[in-house]
Structure formats: structure tokens, C-alpha cells
Amino acid sequence: MDKTFRQLFDMKFETYITPAIAGIFMIISYAIVAVAWLGVVVGSGIEGLIAAVIGLPLSMVFIRMWFEGLVSLIKTAEASTKLVKLKEEELKKSQE
């Protein structure tokens, strides 16, 4: 947790906090969607129930896809940074 807190104040953006907290925000998003759909079911009867049966799982899938996209983007950035550093080291060694 200390590492995550330090990442919050990394103004050079050398480390990414998104992978560490994405799961937490995904669960919070699921809870918000579930409560919203529960309100729809209670407030509108059978039509709301049908909408919830279709909409709730669909919403959860799209939330998951969105968070996966964010995390994969960050992982790609981290891998690219590592590759650039490795290439720079290779060039330095070859120039010596």
C-alpha cells in the first residue's frame, strides 16, 4: 500500500498506479451498476426486470472490457519503456 501511495505523487509518471487500483474501481463500478439496476427493477416492474436481466450482465461485461483496456494500455507502455532502456544499454555497450 505504501508503494501505491508513493505512486500517487510521482509527478514524472515513471510508475503507473492504474494496474494496482483498477480492480478496486471495477468492483465499485459493479456495485454502482447493480444498485442502479435494482432501482430500475423496483421502480418499473416487469419491464425493469427484463431490462435488468439483460442490462446488468451486459453492463458488467463492458465495465470489465474498459478496465482491461486501461490495464493493457499501461502494461504496453511499461513494456515499451523496458524495451527502450534495453536498446539504449545495448547501444552503449556496442559503442564501448
Residue at grid coordinates 505504501: 2
Cell matching residue 42:
423496483
Domain assignment of residue 1, yes or no: no
Answer with the residue of higher pLDDT: 86 or 45.
86
Tell me the C-alpha distance between 31 and 56, whole Å.
Answer: 11
pLDDT digits (tens, 9 = 90+) for 25-43: 999 999 999 898 888 878 8
How many structural domains is the chain composed of?
1
Q: Which domain holds residue 52?
A: 30-96
Q: DSSP alpha helices (H): ranges in the chain?
A: 2-8, 18-44, 46-95
- Residue 92 is assigned to a structural domain of this protein: yes
- Whole-prediction pTM: 0.74
Does residue 5 fall inside a structural domain?
no
Would you call 58 helix, strand, or coil by DSSP?
A: helix
Is there a domain that residue 10 lies in?
A: no
Q: Which tens digits make up the pLDDT trace of 67-78?
A: 999 999 999 999
